[in-house]
Structure 1
């Protein structure tokens, strides 16, 4: 399986890449997959050329193909002006509209203050919903003060676990076995069968006949036989 990680951090090293790496490790703890990281800042020039000319340079084309072939995606961006970065959005603007259909996505974002913690919900999640990519329930936002806190570590672990489970192929439920057919016992005593057999609307009793299957015994005949006993 292929796990593709898109990090839109602008510096090196960056907190965005650090969060991406930790989300990747949390996912791989529950899944055997081959991770591949795309640093969007390294493709900034190619992205601009593609937006202007309509033709992707080779390195950008390879990155877009990698994302399209992913079995799962981790997308992490820094926050600018209360939303994802322009470079992050420009990269995903170039993804074919059907490329991520059905591909599970884990969202992450970094920022300097907790005030932007809803960016994953009001900006990022609608973007990937538009691309018809199912987004795992837990998104991870890391403010500057969150690093080293247990709360961030727990969210990372939970999000990675959710993505790993989403990437696993569904296990088909076993088909329930049909109940075995009950074969009538043709050796059953006819009197016993008659005793438990239903009555017809005319008062006759339906009895089992070993030779001919079922036979109807008139009520008067059955009453006379009982009196004779």
Structure 2
């Protein structure tokens, strides 16, 4: 069986980016918990390709590859900086090109960053409804980080790291159910085939 694919999407229009650092941290944490492979897609370099036209067929090859990676992923971690009280236009532009039913029932971990905790409701009031449209399985505990949680674009806050660990731990049962995996004390694993179980004979 192929490794579980955990794909992160950073909607920051700048590089380097605290949002990308957060998405990368969460993506790697989720992948480690499920024994999967992590990939992070930065949207900033794809802006011109995504804006090449209004339809999926208009986007450039790199943007098209990124869209296909997200649609094929087993788990997705999304993140955006707060901008004018919502996610960035770049973030919305990318998901405007995602197939309407491509994310149905797919586990999504929501993350966001902002200058202060006043922007924390971005996760619940803006991001969750967007992925509700896609009929995705948004995991219950979103992760918000402010500027004080980073040093040189690295996650340094122990409180933020603890929130990430808690979010991953609480989502394991949901991921196990959705991906038909078996929950264990320290993560989840692929199910043992019936013929390989000791009591199968």
Question: Is the Cα–Cα contact under 8 Å of residues 50 and 57 in structure 1 kept in the other structure?
Answer: no
> How far does residue 163 in structure 1 lie from its aligned partner after superposition?
4.1
> 1:129: which partner in 2?
132
3-state SS, counterpart of residue 51 of structure 2: helix
Aligned length: 172
**Alpha carbons of structure 1 residues 138 and 53: separation in structure 2 relative to 1, 3 Å:** closer
**Alpha carbons of structure 1 residues 54 and 120: separation in structure 2 relative to 1, 3 Å:** same
Question: Is the Cα–Cα contact under 8 Å of residues 43 and 91 in structure 2 kept in the other structure?
Answer: yes
Residue segments in structure 1 that go unaligned for 5+ positions in a row: 173-229
- The structure showing larger relative contact order (alpha-carbon pairs under 8 Å, at least 6 residues apart) is 2
After superposing on structure 2, the runs of 4+ consecutive aligned residues of structure 1 that deviate more than 6 Å are none
> 2:109: which partner in 1?
106
Measured against aligned partners, the alpha-carbon deviations of 1:54-76 in whole angstroms (never above 9, x if no partner) come to: 52222211111111101000001
> 1:44: which partner in 2?
47
Equivalent residue in structure 1 for 2:175, among 167, 170, 190: 167
Question: Is the Cα–Cα contact under 8 Å of residues 15 and 44 in structure 2 kept in the other structure?
Answer: no
Residue segments in structure 2 that go unaligned for 5+ positions in a row: 151-155, 183-190, 192-201
| Aligned: 1:152 with 2:160 | yes
Cα distance in structure 1, aligned partners of 2:95 and 2:43: 10
Cα distance in structure 1, aligned partners of 2:13 and 2:56: 24
Q: Which of these two proteins has the greater Rg computed from alpha carbons?
A: 1
Question: Is the Cα–Cα contact under 8 Å of residues 6 and 30 in structure 2 kept in the other structure?
Answer: no
3-state SS, counterpart of residue 11 of structure 1: coil
> 1:81: which partner in 2?
84
Cα distance in structure 1, aligned partners of 2:170 and 2:26: 11
Cα distance in structure 2, aligned partners of 1:8 and 1:25: 17
TM-score, normalized by length of structure 1? 0.70
Deviates more, 1:51-60 or 1:122-131: 51-60
Cα distance in structure 2, aligned partners of 1:43 and 1:112: 24
Cα distance in structure 2, aligned partners of 1:97 and 1:37: 22
